[in-house]
Chains A and B, each alone.
Chain A
Amino acid sequence: QKEVEQNSGPLSVPEGAIASLNCTYSDRGSQSFFWYRQYSGKSPELIMSIYSNGDKEDGRFTAQLNKASQYVSLLIRDSQPSDSATYLCAVTSGGGAQKLVFGQGTRLTINP
């Protein structure tokens, strides 16, 4: 079992709809959770971080965390064509380094 799992997609959503991206992780000791957006050929860009159970909203983005279920999600409201990208879920591995363990990414396409 991979440490961080995401649906690889592709996920196709019409413009203006809600895009829902999911991620599960295996390390119960993980404390910090991140969503990065990556455009083709570019590096990951941090869009959301979440540390406690519940929802965290930032503009059109909402991150949800459920530590009991080891589940993280990202909702994108009013999806725009510019949201088309690969979304990477990342989890800290614990220990001093706090290195990030990434899922394989979900490719999202917003259709105009």
Chain B
Amino acid sequence: DTGVSQDPRHKITKRGQNVTFRCDPISEHNRLYWYRQTLGQGPEFLTYFQNEAQLEKSRLLSDRFSAERPKGSFSTLEIQRTEQGDSAMYLCASGTSGRDTQYFGPGTRLTVL
């Protein structure tokens, strides 16, 4: 049983560029979550998928952010026209319906210069 994986682990980009992150959940998990964590804070919820349907988005998720989970398996999170304030750790977690437990991947650390 492999855990949640994320790619890349680190991304450095210049302001204004677009970036895309990938998350592969635990194989039997139908729920997938994205969170963002800045230094000294706990993770903050961004969005949630059940299977391929995106069922909830946080107000934190501006129009520059988009997430997909096209076949109910892996998910991508894209940030367009990155800003320095987007610098953070982007965490993916997965879980199953009927259980609240979420397991986190290793995260993608984004640095916007």
Interface majority SS (helix, strand, loop, mixed), chain B: strand
When the two chains form the complex, which single residue of A36, A46, A49, A102 contacts B44, counting CB atoms closer than 8 Å? A102
- B104 neighbours in A (Cβ, 8 Å): 36, 43-46
- B48 neighbours in A (Cβ, 8 Å): 97, 99
**A43, B42: Cβ atoms under 8 Å?**
no
The chain A residue sitting closest to B41, CB to CB, is A104
When the two chains form the complex, which single residue of A36, A43, A93 contacts B105, counting CB atoms closer than 8 Å? A43
Shortest beta-carbon distance from A36 to chain B in Å: 8
- B100 neighbours in A (Cβ, 8 Å): 31-32, 34, 49, 92, 98
**A105, B91: Cβ atoms under 8 Å?**
no
Tell me the residues in window 1-58 of chain A with beta carbons closer than 8 Å to chain B beta carbons: 4, 8, 31-32, 34, 36, 42-46, 49
Counting contact residues on chain A (CB < 8 A from B), the size range is: 20 to 34
**B18 touches A (CB below 8 Å):** no
Produce 1/0 per residue, B92-109, CB < 8 A to A: 010100001111111100
**B42, A99: Cβ atoms under 8 Å?**
no
3 pairs of A and B residues whose beta carbons are closest in the complex: A102-B42, A32-B100, A99-B45
8 more contacts with CB within 8 A, not counting A93-B45, A97-B55, are A46-B102, A46-B104, A49-B101, A88-B43, A100-B35, A102-B42, A102-B44, A105-B40
Residues of A whose CB lies within 8 Å of any CB of B are 4, 8, 31-32, 34, 36, 42-46, 49, 88, 90, 92-93, 95-105
Residues of B whose CB lies within 8 Å of any CB of A are 31, 33, 35, 40-45, 48, 50, 55-56, 89, 91, 93, 95, 100-107
Interface pairs (8), CB distance under 8 Å: A32-B100, A42-B107, A88-B42, A93-B45, A97-B55, A100-B102, A102-B44, A105-B42
